[in-house]
Amino acid sequence: MNRKWWKEAVVYQIYPKSFQDTDRDGIGDLAGIISRLDYLEMLGINTIWLCPINVSPMRDNGYDIADYYKIDPSFGTNEDLEELVEKASERGIRVLMDLVVNHCSDQHPWFQEAVKNPDSKYASYFIIKETDGEAPNNIRCYNAVSAWERIGDSNRFYFHSFAKEQPDLNWENPFLRREIIEMMKFWQQKGIAGFRIDAIGNIKKSKYALAQGMLPPDGDDGMVSVDKYVLMQDGIEEYLQELKEEVFDKYDMMTVAEVSVPEERMEQFIGENGLFSMVFDFSYTDMDIEKRNGKEWKRPWTIGELKKKIYDSQNSIQKHGWGSPYLENHDQPRSVNKYIPRDEISYESKTALGVLYFFLRGTPFIYQGQEIGMENYPFRDVKDLRDPFAVSRYQQSVDKGENPENDMEYFRERGRDNSRTPMQWDDSTYAGFSDVEPWINVNPDYVQINVKEELDKEISVYHFYQKMINLRKNPEYGETLTFGAFQAVETKEEALIGYRRTDDNYRITIWVNLSNKVAELPKSRAASMVILNNRTELEEDRLLPYQAIVEVEGGKE
């Protein structure tokens, strides 16, 4: 077993725009994060992942970078970032940045130059095709429109996997790749310990994606999803290997890639000598949605399905490398609303959900606010939405004469803005996030759900997350919970989810009853309990609704 520092990390993801405002512009900033480091230290995490903070027109909240070397003024300065890194390090906390290099912003000087001057060297930093007037082909971007955008009134078109303000970079170009490598080194030298790597599976385009002429459509709109032609294409590994050799390995960085990897390529991506430390698995976080005509919609699912997906994911990752269990991030709604029926959301169900993922094999990620049990925002009006993808999808429905209320209903449950509302620190106006009106509404439930309340209460979601983190660090059991093997424990009851972490010293079993009914536990257990999520004492061989426990058997000689 290769012991890397990042295997013992507990990562806390920060969406800087919504974490803490200090300069009274309604937008969170780096000084705000610095001011909350004590809070994070007290929680027990040891790594922070910052969503993008580089200069950006914020068409996609920073996932559209216009200057790779500079911090966006709304967040602060490069010096602020250095201060954050230093102050975090004093508390034993490392900082990861978000690396957004599949695309940049259409405001980036490279793109501006490429548009203005077809002969400039920057034209080949992008994917630009000249045609006799029609888009080169019928590929549909993630925004459900053509992936090709005309440049002005010319016959030149550029390719974008995401919004048209996010032109894809041309990784075939060695000069572009060099620029990216140098930029990564720049941040490493500022003390950045690693990267969460955005949409990295998209960097290599197939020759069909770039060819002129219709491709077989996959929807009524006559278009075909970008996924088929730009995701995980053969040859992508050459580019990634270069990043690994020149940066990741050289500086012992933690890398977590946002990419779905099929089983047969797992070894290459996360194996002992893999391209990344770990990759995010979407199988159980996206199990509640399906795609139709380029749009995502809710789909029904069962606890049994969730259980199977978690087991399959863990078994597959364990064969090859290391996992990155998570429930939430800035693209997901709040997990309690996804996995727990509305009228069963409670302290018990929130913490049961925590236990479910927190002891899986891998580095656990906590998204800001998850540790206090934040919930979805009750979106009713399109005016309250800020996610440009949601706003443009709504508008597309209006334009096509379709009922946009269907989209609105989807956003209420599934929209990305649900997790982007301001962090709820206390019950003062704007929840202690800011003194002025924030860029996105505060969830009205902040009066009940906020950090102050959670800290004051003896029993709270926050304190429970603190306990779970401590258990992973416990001198007795931490080793098994971190490095031990994963083993699914099959049970008859659908809503009883069990798994084990084992090594030569201990056999630790995690039991979670993810339902509002009592669940029977196996009778002959000779284990002692180390964590119980709720107030009611454990009955010998059954779990009450949403009760969850961690039990230990064995002991060191």
Q: Which is nearer to ligand NOJ, 13 or 47 (CB)?
A: 13
Q: Which is nearer to ligand NOJ, 162 or 506 (CB)?
A: 162
The three-class DSSP label of residue 535 is: coil
Q: Name the active-site residue from 21, 198, 407, 417.
A: 198
For residues 394 to 433, the per-residue mask of contacts with ligand NOJ, x marking binding by CB under 6 A and - elsewhere, is ----------------------------------------
Query: At a CB cut-off of 8 Å and minimum separation 6, what does 358 contact?
Result: 325, 364, 468, 472
220 is catalytic: no
Q: How far is the CB of 47 from ligand NOJ (least distance, A)?
A: 18
Site membership for ligand NOJ, residue 162 (CB under 6 A): yes
Q: How far is the CB of 28 from ligand NOJ (least distance, A)?
A: 16
How many Å from the N-terminal Cα to the C-terminal Cα in the chain? Answer: 22
Binding to ligand NOJ in span 23-82, by CB under 6 A: 60, 63
Binding to ligand NOJ in span 229-248, by CB under 6 A: none
| Ordered DSSP codes for 290-320 | EEETTEEEE----HHHHHHHHHHHHHHHHHH
Judged by CB under 6 A, which of 11, 43, 53, 199 binds ligand NOJ? 199
Query: At a CB cut-off of 8 Å and minimum separation 6, what does 413 contact?
Result: 298, 333, 337, 338, 376
Q: Which is nearer to ligand NOJ, 142 or 269 (CB)?
A: 142
Query: Which one, of 524, 522, 527, lies nearest residue 543 by Cα?
Result: 522
How far apart (Å, rounded) are the C-alpha atoms in residues 533 and 537? 10
Q: How far is the CB of 258 from ligand NOJ (least distance, A)?
A: 6
Q: How far is the CB of 60 from ligand NOJ (least distance, A)?
A: 5
Binding to ligand NOJ in span 79-108, by CB under 6 A: 100
Site membership for ligand NOJ, residue 21 (CB under 6 A): no
How far apart (Å, rounded) are the C-alpha atoms in residues 431 and 454? 13
> 139-140 and 224-225: which strand pairing?
parallel
Q: Which is nearer to ligand NOJ, 100 or 123 (CB)?
A: 100
Reduced to 3 DSSP states, what percent helix, strand and coil does the chain have, rounded to the nearest 5? 35, 20, 45
198 is catalytic: yes
Site membership for ligand NOJ, residue 126 (CB under 6 A): no
Judged by CB under 6 A, which of 23, 237, 331, 493 binds ligand NOJ? 331
Q: Which is nearer to ligand NOJ, 104 or 549 (CB)?
A: 104
CB half-sphere exposure, 26, CA atoms < 13 A: 7
- Angle, to 10 degrees, between the axis of helix 174-189 and the axis of helix 236-243? 30
- Angle, to 10 degrees, between the axis of helix 347-358 and the axis of helix 461-473? 20
Q: Which is nearer to ligand NOJ, 51 or 360 (CB)?
A: 51
Spatial contact of 97 and 63, defined as CB atoms under 8 Å apart:
no
188 alpha carbon, distance to own chain's centre:
21
User: Dihedral through CA 354, CA 357, CA 359, CA 363, nearest 10?
Assistant: -110
Q: How far is the CB of 417 from ligand NOJ (least distance, A)?
A: 11
Q: How far is the CB of 304 from ligand NOJ (least distance, A)?
A: 29
Q: Which is nearer to ligand NOJ, 200 or 352 (CB)?
A: 200
Q: How far is the CB of 54 from ligand NOJ (least distance, A)?
A: 12
Judged by CB under 6 A, which of 21, 198, 417, 479 binds ligand NOJ? 198
Length of the chain: 557
Q: Name the active-site residue from 258, 286, 348, 387.
A: 258
Question: Minimal CB distance to ligand NOJ: which residue?
Answer: 63
Q: How far is the CB of 309 from ligand NOJ (least distance, A)?
A: 20
Amino acid in the structure at residue 166? Q
Alpha helices (runs of H) in 174-264, residue ranges in sequence order: 174-189, 207-210, 226-230, 236-243
Q: Which is nearer to ligand NOJ, 328 or 454 (CB)?
A: 328
Q: Find where tokens 């934040």 sit.
A: 374
Strands (E), 4-135: 11-14, 47-50, 54-55, 67-71, 94-99, 128-130
Q: Catalytic amino acids?
A: 198, 258
Binding footprint of ligand NOJ on the chain (CB under 6 A):
60, 63, 100, 162, 198-199, 258, 330-331
